[in-house]
Amino acid sequence: MRSLPTRRAASLTGLLVGVALGLLYTWVINPVEIVNTYPALLRTDLRWDWVRLAALSYVVNDDLEQARTRLEGLRYEDVSGAIQALIEDYAAAGLPADTMRRLTTLAEALDVHTPAMLVYLHTPASSSPTPIHTPPPTTTPTSSPTPTPSPTPIPLSTSTSTPNPSQTPTPPTLSPLSTPTPEPTVPSPTPTPTPPLLVRLQLARKDSSCQPTQAGRIEVVVKDEHGDEVPGVTVWLTWPGGADRAVTGLKSQGGAGYADFAVEKGVNYTLSVGELGRPLVTNLRIASCEPEGGRQDDNEEKAEEPWTSSWRILLEPPPIETEE
Amino acid sequence: MAGLVVGLMIGLAIGWWLWPVQYTNTSPSVLRQDYRDDYTLMVATTYEVEQDPERAYERMSLLNPQDPAAPVIELAERLLEAGGSIEDVTRLARLARLLGTVPPTLIPYVEELEVQS
């Protein structure tokens, strides 16, 4: 007959072996079958692709609620990272302004921000969502049973922040240390307040140049009355059926008051500043051109490449008139 | 022997209920059916923007490696039967054509489809 300690040891050993066998069976041999998962469990690259698909579907169908539903349950880091990457890729690839506007509208609604979307925020869309040609169907449906996934949602904030690059700091008010004795003074004329720079800006110079490129460009430089370039000025370019905007000082290759637009040939463009205010330059057109002195490239292929006119616009307030 | 049986039961309880295998890094093929439908529809819709056939094929292969067109056709026919959005059906029909299979039910929804008579 075995002693009590020996039996206890045998029981304990049996227990441990049993637990080990149980875990081996449930974790390795017959684990919980993986079905009916949800997007948050996808591999990282596939999660990002899910976000990309949801965002690009929004570009086509303009359905914000559907996009939100599709992104529910995903971590904010995945949503923001994927949308930022998408916007930056598309901005670099020069996709149409309407596509960029819709993407930035979605990004803003999801509280995602990236510098590349700045110029497309709050600009009017020129058309309805991307149309799709629909041939005559054989049946006439009456409802849309789009599936609605319902995992545990994460809050996607809808608050937005609008950068205001043209804010002017308020100078500190100095309080007098002693009360000065009033002295008779000669009344001076009341100074006329100077209107804001945006109101005073006008076309100062408009130069055209011929460049060996397919696409045209409109470059804008904004200066103040002292000749200093002014950053943070919103410049609008509008044309029949569309609008685009740029903010001065965001391009590293230009100066502090520089902004530019890629434009197409044969369209009449209008340039204005501020919130789509009065036009400063109208009928800006880009056309094919020939360089002065003709083409001098010996290479035949280069000699046949198209040359396109570009504009460089200087906006400046009129000089301040000083009274003698 | 009793210890072994008790231990085995504890092990099964831990492995299946208390602390089951946690799956991450999954693929679209194991998504719930409504998510798979949504994925298919998003691939079809996104193709309108990207116009990238290879990418669309890769995405649908993740859902069904053997027959990437099958989920597309299945969803389109289900939408037709349920009276779904014509635009969605059209997008799915285009994707199905891109993936190489268009059943007769979807032919009217595919523009410029050359019907061999």
Per-residue pLDDT reduced to its tens digit, A227-274: 888 888 888 887 666 678 888 888 767 788 899 888 888 888 878 887
- Specify burial of residue B36 (Cβ count, 10 A radius: 0-12, 13-18, 19+): buried
Q: Which residues pair with A217 in a beta bridge?
A: A262
A143 with B84: Cβ contact below 8 A: yes
Nearest Cα to A242, choosing from A267, A273, A265? A267
Positive or negative, the Cα torsion across B85, B90, B95, B101? positive
Q: What is the pLDDT of residue A181?
A: 44
Do A20 and A108 sit in the same domain of this protein? yes
Report, as ranges of residue numbers, the positions in chain A whose pLDDT lies below 70: 1-2, 31-33, 119, 121-195, 239-242, 252, 275-278, 294-304, 320-324
Nearest residue of chain A to residue B40 (CA atoms): A53
Q: Are the C-beta atoms of B8 and A21 separated by less than 8 Å?
A: yes
Work out the minimum CA distance from B59 to partner chain A, whole angstroms. 9
Flag whether residue A128 sits within 8 Å of chain B, measured between CB atoms.
no
B47 touches chain A (CB under 8 A): no
Among A14, A61, A140, the residue with its CB nearest the CB of B4 is A14
Nearest-CB residue to A18 (from B4, B50, B59): B4
Alpha-carbon distance values, A70 to A55, A239, A271 (Å):
9, 35, 39
A308-316 and A279-284: which strand pairing? Answer: unpaired
On whether residue A146 sits in a domain, the answer given is no
Rounded CA separation A221/A258 (Å):
5
Q: Assess A6–B contact: CB distance below 8 Å, yes or no.
A: no
The verdict on a CB contact (< 8 Å) between A141 and B86 is yes
CATH of the domain at A297: 2.60.40.10
To test the contact with chain B by mutation, choose from A29, A33, A57, A90 the residue with the greatest count of B C-beta atoms within 10 A, namely: A57
Cβ atoms within 10 Å of B115's Cβ, excluding its own: 8
User: Do A141 and B27 make contact, defined as CB atoms within 8 angstroms?
Assistant: no
Which chain B residue has the Cα nearest residue A98?
A: B49
What is the C-alpha separation between A32 and B20, in angstroms, rounded? 7
Residue A144 within a domain? no
Q: Is B103 on the interface with A (CB under 8 A)?
A: no
pTM as predicted: 0.52
∠ at Cα A286 (A284, A287), nearest 5°?
140
pLDDT at B76: 96
Residues 6+ apart with CB under 8 A from A286: A216, A218, A263, A264, A265, A266, A267, A269, A308, A309, A310, A311
pLDDT at A94: 72
Sheet holding A242-247, edge to edge: A242-247, A234-239, A269-273, A279-284
- Angle at CA of residue A125, ends A123 and A128, nearest 5°: 165
Q: Does A39 touch chain B (CB under 8 A)?
A: yes
For A56, which of B2, B50, B111 is closest by C-beta distance? B50
Residue A102: inside a domain, yes or no?
A: yes
CA end-to-end distance (rounded Å), chain A = 125
- H helices, E strands: number in chain A: 7, 8
Under the banding of pLDDT at 50, 70 and 90, the label for residue B17 is confident
Scanning every residue of chain B, which has its alpha carbon at the shortest distance from the alpha carbon of A33? B21
Q: Identify whether residues A304 and A202 lie together within a single domain.
A: yes
Question: Which range of residues forms the domain containing residue A31?
Answer: 12-126+153-158
Averaged pLDDT of chain B:
87
Q: State residue A32's pLDDT score.
A: 65
Cα separation, A209 vs A212, in Å, equals 10
pLDDT in the model for residue A265 = 83
Reading the block at residue B10, the tokens are: 């504890």
Residue pointed to by tokens 């696409």: A215
Count of alpha carbons within 13 angstroms of residue A2, beta-carbon side = 8
Q: Name the closest residue on chain A to residue B35, using Cα atoms.
A: A149
pLDDT digits (tens, 9 = 90+) for B24-76: 678 999 999 999 999 999 999 999 999 999 999 999 999 999 999 999 999 99
Total domains in chain A come to 2
> CB distance from B111 to chain A under 8 Å?
yes
Question: Is there a domain that residue A132 lies in?
Answer: no
Q: Whole-angstrom Cα distance, residue A224 to residue A209?
A: 24
Shortest distance between the Cα of A7 and any Cα of chain B, in A, equals 10
Sort strands A269-273 and A279-284 into parallel, antiparallel or unpaired. antiparallel
A202 and A103, same structural domain? no
For residue A40, the distance in angstroms to the closest alpha carbon of chain B comes to 9
Cβ within 8 Å, pair A149-B15: no
Note whether residue A116 is domain-resident. yes
Q: Is B32 on the interface with A (CB under 8 A)?
A: yes
Comparison of pLDDT for A15 and B98, the residue scoring more: B98
pLDDT of residue A59: 95
Q: What is the pLDDT, as a whole number, of residue A298?
A: 58
